[in-house]
A and B are shown apart, each in its own frame.
Chain A
Amino acid sequence: MAFLPTGDFDMKKIIFALAAILLLAPGTQAAPPKWEQSLINVQATRKTYNPSRPWSRSSSTTVKTAMVIGKNQFLTTAEGLQDLSMLRVQKDGRGTWWDGKLKWVDYHANIAVVSAAEEEFSEGLVPVKMGNVDTSKKDWQILRWKSGNVEKRAAEFNQFLVQEGRLTFIQHLQLEASSEIDAVGWGEPLVSGGKVVAIATGQADNNIRFIPVKFFRKVLAARQAGKNRGLGYFPFVWSPVANPETYKFLKLDGEPRGAMVLEVPVIPRVKGRLKPKDIILEVDGFPIDNEGYYRDPDLGLIIMENLSTRGKLAGDVVKMKIWRDGKAINVNYPLPPIRYTDKLLPERTFDQEPEYLIVGGLMFQPLNVPLLRAFGGNWRTRAPFRLSKLASELPTKERKAMVALTVVIPDPYNLGYQNARWLPLDTINDQRISTIADIRAALKKPINGFHEVRFMKGSSTERMVLDADRERETTQRILRHYRIPAPSFFGTN
């Protein structure tokens, strides 16, 4: 039953009357789904960290919506399920919370499957059917539990778009619809024709973002078959070509067409590499126009980035026709898997406790975007310029990641260095440093009784020296003095 605002009695009557007419109308076949048997609440409690005190812990709880997709399998979005410390599930929108667990998550696709610890929870629950978005239909509704009832709010199609996802740096298919509903974006299904066609991921004013079933269907199917490789993507940088002279310069006659490859990063390495100044003429048989768009049979005109996730997974081959050196060639382009570590400063560090290492009061931490978010929502302008610039750089063969001295915990041992902070590290004891583990290894090789610390050229301080013999004892003293539970945490060691 739909939730209706109080005092809307006339509207109620009209809707019930319409419902009755629809039910009695000829051609009505299957009974409409009983959504209350297919929707559950998920309560996710996750650990949160204070980047300036990475050993400290706090928690945050989110209540999300999930839908039944199989026996004791509930599909929701991945957001809010990172760093989980507790997960519970609830049916009927009220009553007992049951212990649950995260069965599987794909952060880039932003979908997850949870289950109840006891199968008994599933009794009476019915899997949803999934379908594709039909923009011509006017029966779109967003569903969620509210005060023990399934709230149903009408939604209206706005647009398909291919943009950066909530948890990923790749651009993928999303759906935008408008609705009067508030505070959605936590896995609420968008239904049409009795089927789930998309899942809500976020909201801005009355505009709600969804990931369509069409986007994640293959990922989910691969997971169910135990063969999920995750999504792949186009890691190269391309540009539209507005200038017809560019095509002439590259000896491509005829109508302006094709998008220009500008930059091909070293990481991830892809077989069948593209080259700068290649023009991408076709992808999987779809002609690419000069703006980098193609005409999708289901979506209409849409940007070619969609073809990296359109029914494809990492490792799948995308067939490209390329204009290179004055002739067309075919390139089989295997999609590389998306990794947060494909960026010099990873954008996310889900499910890893923050790494740190304290050496004689110098605190070293891996440089990543979650760390820089300590500068606030507008960290790109508030963080030290050099660090925010590093966040937009790509890893190289020589340096795949960065570590920084983030703060100096004052002690006579580190006197003179007390004002140093946010300095990206280059070497310790002549060993190049990319990870916290590298530091640990480097500290085993002091030079003549000293640890020689070098920061990236251009830092406000480029060199420091520590007494290697006294380091361990000093670190222990500092830990006791400042009540820090451990000198380090290595997530991967």
Chain B
Amino acid sequence: MNNPSLTGSKPFPTLSGHNMKRHLWLAAILLLQGTFAGADETEKAVVQILTAGQQPNWSTPWQFGSVRRSSGTGFVIKGRKIMTNAHVVSWARQILVKRPQDSRLYVAHVKYIGHDCDLALLEVEDSLFFEGIKPLEFGKLPKVRTTVVTYGYPAGGEQISFTRGVVSRIEMQTYAHIGNRSLLGVQTDAAINPGNSGGPVIQDGKVIGVAFQGIPGLENAGFFIPPPVIEHFLEDIDDKTYDGFPQAGIRFESLQNPAYRKKLKLPDNGLGARVDSLVEGMPAAKVLELDDVVLKVGDYPVGSDGTIIYGGNRLQLPMAIQEAQSGGQVPVTIWRNGEKIEALLPVESNKRDRRTGNQYDLPPRYYVYGGVVFTPLSFDYMRAIPSSSSTRNALVYELFYRRNEKPKTMRDEAIVVSRILQDRVNANLRIVSGSLVDKINGKKINKLEDVIAAFEKAEGQHHLIEFQKEGAFEVLDREEADKANKNIARMYGIPSDRRL
């Protein structure tokens, strides 16, 4: 299967976009409009979101790219808020919202955003905006084969568009916006195109989903975020902060092998998933042990293939854990040493792996010294360097594999030299971009702050920068580097030597 891609933001239409394809789209929209009587109230609550966004450059982290304009969809919910996708408003410098049949633009801002579940709530400064709009209500998780209608402002026109389809499949999906989380998702054959993102999916007059992504190359397949995920998001922000979906830090394996079941003295009844490994530092390690068998999570019996039945759908076990809020506990029944044990499994939102996914709204941290640019290794940084980079394999290992293979050697954040800003003081350094820093002046580098401290507290004639690869190192003359800093910042237009 192809990786999912966001369907959300579409660039503002230009004259060059007025092609035959556009006219065909328009025809489809008119046809649906004509057959969809009595939808006025719902339609009024669906708004277009116009954003001007600016993303940082992860390899020159003090810089931001050009302003990119795009659009998506949102809908009004209770509490005078607009729900949309996080990816519609991420990195936005300005957010404008537009009501159907209204020529005015209203300024909005993000009140809450959940990048893991790709949802956001906006507030509009002008209270007139909500006049005459009845907030939409949420329905329940739809059944497969039932009909749904998407509302939105997809590419191909200016007016609101509706597409009808059926619920094709309900299962855990990778959420492309963050990239490293799988939550419940619903597949539909209703067309979901760029610009639809954040738009409501309606069944029986209620919102049963938020359109959010598609899979390139897969025809008639769009995805929407279902009510359990939306409700979890709304409940999470009850305390005014968003924590995110929790994890337990368990890697389950199926327990279908008769010998393994016999060894664990477990009856061959098709129940139970085995704890194959535990993620270091996550709370499950306090409660569970390797080869524990999880028989039940919450109210859900666990099958020997590691699935539960949820709303009539067979889903992966983490779905049961994700129902809890971060910091909560999930009751579990486990099988250990031939006995059933009841326990409470603590779960929490995992912040430790955020650099393995896409990051938003917080610009990259960096520190520049002697023209050497240090920044934390992240997935965003890796996307900014050429795929042919000689350091790529080392970075992939550091970012994605070390945590599981050698957790005790993990650093809080791995630091790379993202580039050298050429100057006389560093002209002879041969540091490849993307080199992982091990130590500076003998101090092990666990995070960016360590880099700064190591340089600022140094007293010798030289700074010694040691790298992870094969004992490589480089040396900087301390006095010369100190002197060069100001000039380098001026020459390269760096507003500050650091962002923490």
List residues of B whose CB falls within 8 A of some A CB: 251, 253-260, 262-263, 274, 276-277, 290-291, 304, 393, 396-397, 401, 404-406, 428-430, 461-462, 464, 470-477
Going nearest first, the 7 A-B pairs with the smallest beta carbon separation are A416-B256, A458-B405, A458-B404, A416-B257, A467-B259, A243-B428, A465-B260
Cross-chain contact of B401 among A244, A386, A462 (Cβ < 8 A): A386
The complex places the Cα of A182 from the Cα of B260 at a distance, in Å, of 60
Q: Which of A13-21, A139-147, A245-253 makes up part of the contact surface?
A: A245-253
Hey, what's the 0/1 contact readout for A268-304 against B, CB within 8 Å counting as 1?
Answer: 0000000011000000000000000000000000000
Residue pair A389, B393 in contact (C-beta under 8 Å): yes
Tell me the dominant secondary structure on chain A's binding face: mixed
Separation of A244 and B462 alpha carbons in the complex (Å)? 12
A389 — which chain B residues lie within 8 A by C-beta? 393, 397, 401
Q: Is the CB of B277 within 8 A of A246?
A: no
- Evaluate contact between A416 and B254: CB separation under 8 angstroms: yes
| Proximity string of chain A (441-478) to chain B, C-beta cutoff 8 Å, 1 when within and 0 when not | 00000001010000011100111111100100000000
Could you tell me the distance between the alpha carbons of A263 and B430 in the complex, rounded to whole angstroms?
A: 17
Q: Which residues of A contact B291 (CB under 8 A)?
A: 463
Residue contact A246 to B474, C-beta cutoff 8 Å:
yes
Q: Is the Cβ of A276 less than 8 Å from the Cβ of B471?
A: yes
CA distance A467 to B274 in the complex (A): 17
**Shortest Cβ distance from A190 into chain B, in angstroms?**
34
Q: Which of A396-420 contact B (CB under 8 A)?
A: 412-417
- CB A441 to nearest CB in B, in angstroms, measures 21
| Chain B contacts for A239, CB-based, 8 A | 472
Indicate if the CB atoms of B401 and A385 lie closer than 8 Å. Answer: yes
| A262, CB-defined interface residue at 8 Å | yes
Residue A237 CB within 8 A of the other chain: yes
Please state if A457 and B405 are interface contacts (CB–CB under 8 Å).
yes
Within 8 A of B (CB), among A136-169: none
20 A/B residue pairs, CB under 8 Å, sorted by A: A240-B430, A246-B474, A248-B462, A248-B475, A262-B472, A277-B473, A385-B397, A385-B401, A389-B393, A412-B258, A413-B258, A415-B257, A415-B258, A416-B304, A417-B257, A457-B277, A463-B274, A463-B276, A463-B291, A466-B259
A residues near B254, Cβ cutoff 8 Å: 416
Distance of A244 Cα from B397 Cα, bound (Å):
32
Q: Give the residue of B258, B290, B396 whose beta carbon is less than 8 angstroms from that of A463.
A: B290
Are B276 and A462 in contact, with the CB atoms below 8 A? yes
Question: How many angstroms between the C-alpha atoms of A392 and B260 in the bound complex?
Answer: 35
> What is the minimal beta-carbon distance from B435 to any residue of chain A, in angstroms?
13
Distance in angstroms between the alpha carbons of A412 and B259 in the assembled complex? 10
In the complex the two chains form, is A245's CB within 8 Å of B260's CB? no
Task: Tell me which residues across on chain B come within 8 A of A243, comparing CB atoms.
Answer: 428-430, 474-475
Q: Would you call A465 and B263 a contact (CB within 8 A)?
A: yes
Q: How close is B398's CB to chain A, nearest CB, in angstroms?
A: 11
Q: How far is the CA of A265 from the CA of B331 in the complex (A)?
A: 50
Contacts of A385 in B (CB 8 A): 393, 396-397, 401
Contact A237 B257 (CB under 8 A): no
Question: Is A237 touching B259 in the complex (CB atoms < 8 A)?
Answer: no
The closest CB in chain A to the CB of B290 belongs to: A463
Known contacts: A249-B462, A416-B257, A416-B260. The answer to whether A263 contacts B401 by CB under 8 A is no
Chain B residues contacting A329 (CB-CB under 8 Å) are: none
Most buried by B among A249, A414, A466: A249
- Chain A residues within an 8 Å CB radius of B405: 386, 456-458
Question: Please, how many angstroms separate the alpha-carbon atoms of A263 and B468 in the complex?
Answer: 11
In the bound assembly, the distance between CA atoms of A419 and B430 in angstroms comes to 45
Nearest residue (CB) in A for B255 is A416
Decide yes or no whether A23 CB sits under 8 A from chain B.
no
Interface residue? A242 (CB, 8 A):
yes
For A194-236 the 0/1 string (1 means CB < 8 A from B) is 0000000000000000000000000000000000000000000
Q: Beyond A243-B428, A457-B406, is A263–B260 a contact (Cβ under 8 Å)?
A: no
| B304 partner residues in chain A, CB cutoff 8 A | 416
CB neighbours (8 Å) of A244 from chain B are 428
Given A262-B472, A458-B404, output 17 extra A-B contacts at Cβ < 8 Å: A237-B470, A237-B471, A240-B430, A243-B428, A245-B476, A248-B462, A262-B471, A263-B471, A388-B393, A389-B397, A413-B259, A415-B258, A416-B254, A457-B277, A461-B253, A461-B276, A462-B251
